[in-house]
Amino acid sequence: MSRNRRAKIVATLGPASSSPEMIRKLYDAGVDMFRLNFSHGTHEDHRARYEAIRAVEREVGTPIAILQDLQGPKIRLGPLEGGKRELTNGSTVRFVCSATAKGNDLPLPHKEVFDAVVPGNQLLIDDGKVRLSATDVGTGYIDAKVISGGIVSDRKGVNLPDTVLALSPITDKDRVDLAFGLELGVDWVAFSFVQRASDLIEAHTLVGGRAGVMSKIEKPAAMSVIEDIVALSDSIMVARGDLGVEIPPEDVPGAQKDLVRLCRLAGKPVIIATQMLESMIHTPTPTRAESSDVATAIYDGSDAVMLSAESASGQFPVQAVETMDRIIRRTEQHKAYRNIIEALHPEVEPLPQHAISAAAAEVAKSIGAACIVAFTSSGTTAYRIARQRPPTPILSVTPNESTARQLAWLWGSTSIRSDEISSYDEMVSHAVQNAKSSGLASDGDCIVVVAGVPFGKSGSTNNLRVVTV
């Protein structure tokens, strides 16, 4: 199914959207990839959602991507005496390395925090609603001054924007969840709170090529080594929720633009996530600011925009997807869109496969081709073409079902699984047949066909051909 738009939609499944009927409605409304959030729900919950998605996939005959989002390490307070405590501006409070605490101390059962924090570092509680600054650090304790006070209650999250923790982003829970997700057959795995490039080495080792590895950018430490992280990731999620807590709000828009630009230059797909249509959790229409936020991500050139609570637990999940779909379409139709999206010209590496992919986008634009048909085994050819952001639709044809699913949320691409090709004649006939059956081309149209010889060998893109349907 061609959505008749370039950017894609990711929707999170949850209590409001787990029935097979609702999942089908969300797909029909425009969802290209479904997110299974392993911070919530049981394995059986996620299995049922996975199977419902695959049932829809079989019904519609179109690959659908499934993203497993791992919880990652959560730094939280322990239980407080009385369940809550009020911190006043200017007062001093002590964090203790313990699961429980007496009196006015705050329990923080995470030894790695006490090993890493130094005086002057910030400690933010409850998504930054309460802000403190460390004044003294000793064995098993951190004294901190309250900068912005408020009520603190049991198990509230703690963010440490100035501190790089000696902590793997992959917890024991994540390892169990990951094994389960890979057994199911998820297409992408998102790793939370990535801080260092070395975190990705561990992630790739565990995934073992069975799914794409996505890094969620939520920590300022990640931004300081972001080029290395992008290079080692298969894709990126700009997780603005935690990132927006740990860096000043005024810096988030610039960080978003930097990340989208860097991903496009690297040919890595990128998702913009969190609070995109937040008001639609409770209302059937978004605010004007939210509409503008989604449009900005599209103008930036992001591959996809994501719904979280809007589709997982909100009252209007289908309307949220339909709204996002309309915003994307209208933005891509705006007269300024092409000029903005084409302002960034990724440098073409001096290799045949890169040159052919870039040439395909240019040739298709020059001759007004109906589509670009990219034969690809691993998906790399489609990624290279998509990074050029051509005005021409991309039809990614692959013999691998897993590749077709992984490409389902790539910018501008419609992915399908097709039989292997072994000759030029087969290449042309398959290209024409698939372009017509997908609705992207009709008799008399020109299409641009990209493939590699020998056929079926990954990374061998070296052939471009113009074909009349």
The token duo for 33 is: 């990839």
Q: Which of 25, 47, 76, 365 is catalytic?
A: 76
274 catalytic residue (yes or no): yes
Angle, helices 288-300 vs 317-333, to 10°: value is: 50
Strand 141-148 relative to strand 130-138: parallel, antiparallel, unpaired? antiparallel
Contact partners, residue 65, CB within 8 Å, separation at least 6: 32, 33, 34, 187, 188, 405, 406, 407, 408, 409
CA–CA separation, 408 and 395 (whole Å): 11
35 catalytic residue (yes or no): yes
CA–CA separation, 345 and 164 (whole Å): 34
Residue tagged 């990951």 (tokens): 178
What string of DSSP letters covers 132-179? Answer: EEEEEEETTEEEEEEEE-EEEETT-BEE-TT---S--S--HHHHHHHH
Q: Which of 274, 331, 380, 461 is catalytic?
A: 274
Angle, helices 252-266 vs 288-300, to 10°: value is: 30
331 catalytic residue (yes or no): no
Q: Which of 35, 264, 384, 405 is catalytic?
A: 35
Category of 30 on φ-ψ map: left (φ > 0), alpha (ψ -120 to 50) or beta: left
Give pairs for 100-107: CB < 8 Å, separation 24+. Answer: 106/77, 106/80, 106/152, 107/77, 107/78, 107/79, 107/80
58 catalytic residue (yes or no): no
Q: Which of 193, 188, 189 is nearest to 157 (CA)?
A: 193
Q: Which of 336, 334, 324, 233 is nearest to 273 (CA)?
A: 324
Q: Which of 131, 216, 219, 384 is catalytic?
A: 216
277-315 in b/e burial notation, b at 16+ Cβ within 10 A? bbbbbeeeebeeebbebbbbbbbbbbbbbbbbbbbbebe
Q: Which residues are catalytic?
A: 35, 76, 216, 274
